[in-house]
Amino acid sequence: MASLKISILLTIFVLAVESRELLDQMQPLPVRHEQWMAQYGRVYKDATEKQHRFEVFKANVKLIEAFNAAGDHKYKLGTNKFADLTNDEFKAIYNGYKGKTTSRASVFMYENFTAAPLSIDWRVKGAVTPVKDQGQCGCCWAFSAVAATEGIHQISTGKLISLAEQELVDCDVKGEDEGCNGGLMDDAFTYLVKNHGLTTEANYPYTGTDGTCNTKKAAITAASITGFQDVPANSEAALLKAVANQPISVAIDAGDYSFQLYSSGVFTGECGTDLDHGVTAVGYGTDTDGTKYWLVKNSWGSSWGENGYIRMERDIDAQEGLCGIAMMASYPTA
């Protein structure tokens, strides 16, 4: 009886949610824009700016509704937090991976690993901290390197500790990495090796701006790594061996509007291979319709995508992987 009640309640809830979405879509666009502004706490400096943003929002809504109505996609777009940005604005602000191809380290410790399970989700194994938000700072590279480091630290010590991206933004500035102007995960790992680790998020909180290195805070390390290795390029099979063992830093091409406005489902593109964003592969699996995917942790807050995550199609025909996910993968070693 109780379970029947629950299932009725659930049905009512689902219907309510669905009809709310439908109702939302029937609202005039200016009202939807106002509601969206309230939902995401967006404030514009004057009426001109608001009008301009409304036009962008309107264009994005048209695009989203046309895309979703087409019906033959494995994923949906939505009016997420980036719905009032043009694709060019979005790319300028959020993509901070310095896409140059660096030399790749040759040792791959998982080369002979053959016991990869059919699916894995490092969140369930307690190796993934809650989704973070880089804000308007192009330091995705720091978030990607930190998530991979949090992962291997939990796997090797049993302790999940949220680590400080801001330390990398402020202190890892002697090489290629340039804080909010972009960087590379491998250079972040190099800093971690040299600095004997990273301090905690709590000790060195994220500000989302370039700051001066607080060497006292940076000296209090909470997790360290012994080195890092690169996954052999252009092999999703190699990437699978790696992700089966720990969360892996990956670079992707996240520049397309479909990535910007991704809402749910298994993302199948559009995207190219101009690597411009650093994220973390924290698992893989197969959707109910048989589509294989990588489970990817992003750093755009938990309102983007599937609670801050995106599932990206896995084992595609191109050796680079979808959006180049298999091109520049790497990981820290414990």
Ligand X SMILES: *[C@@H]1O[C@H](CO)[C@@H](O)[C@H](O)[C@H]1NC(C)=O
CB of 135 vs ligand X, minimal distance in Å: 39
Which residue's entry shows tokens 């995508």? 305
CB of 108 vs ligand X, minimal distance in Å: 6
User: How far apart are alpha carbons 86 and 268 in whole angstroms?
Assistant: 21
* Nearest alpha-carbon partner for 62 in 74, 73, 70, 51: 70
Interface stretch with ligand X, choices 108-116, 120-128, 271-279, 312-320 (CB under 6 A)? 108-116
Q: Which is nearer to ligand X, 110 or 204 (CB)?
A: 110
Q: Which is nearer to ligand X, 2 or 107 (CB)?
A: 107
Which residue's entry shows tokens 């993509």? 95
| Residue with the shortest CB distance to ligand X | 112
User: How far apart are alpha carbons 327 and 97 in whole angstroms?
Assistant: 13
Six-digit token string for 92: 């300028």
Told to check if 112 binds ligand X by CB under 6 A, we report yes
User: How far apart are alpha carbons 197 and 190 in whole angstroms?
Assistant: 10
Q: Is 171 one of the annotated active-site residues of the chain?
A: no
Q: Is 68 one of the annotated active-site residues of the chain?
A: no
Told to check if 227 binds ligand X by CB under 6 A, we report no
Candidate list 137, 171, 203, 277, residue with the active-site label: 277
User: How far apart are alpha carbons 279 and 141 in whole angstroms?
Assistant: 7
Candidate list 140, 171, 180, 271, residue with the active-site label: 140
Told to check if 109 binds ligand X by CB under 6 A, we report yes
CB of 331 vs ligand X, minimal distance in Å: 14
Interface stretch with ligand X, choices 106-114, 130-138, 242-250, 294-302 (CB under 6 A)? 106-114
CB 26 within 8 A of CB 58: no
User: How far apart are alpha carbons 332 and 151 in whole angstroms?
Assistant: 9
CB of 110 vs ligand X, minimal distance in Å: 7
Six-digit token string for 224: 């360290």
Enzyme catalytic residues: 140, 277, 298
Report the interface residues with ligand X, using CB under 6 A: 109, 111-112
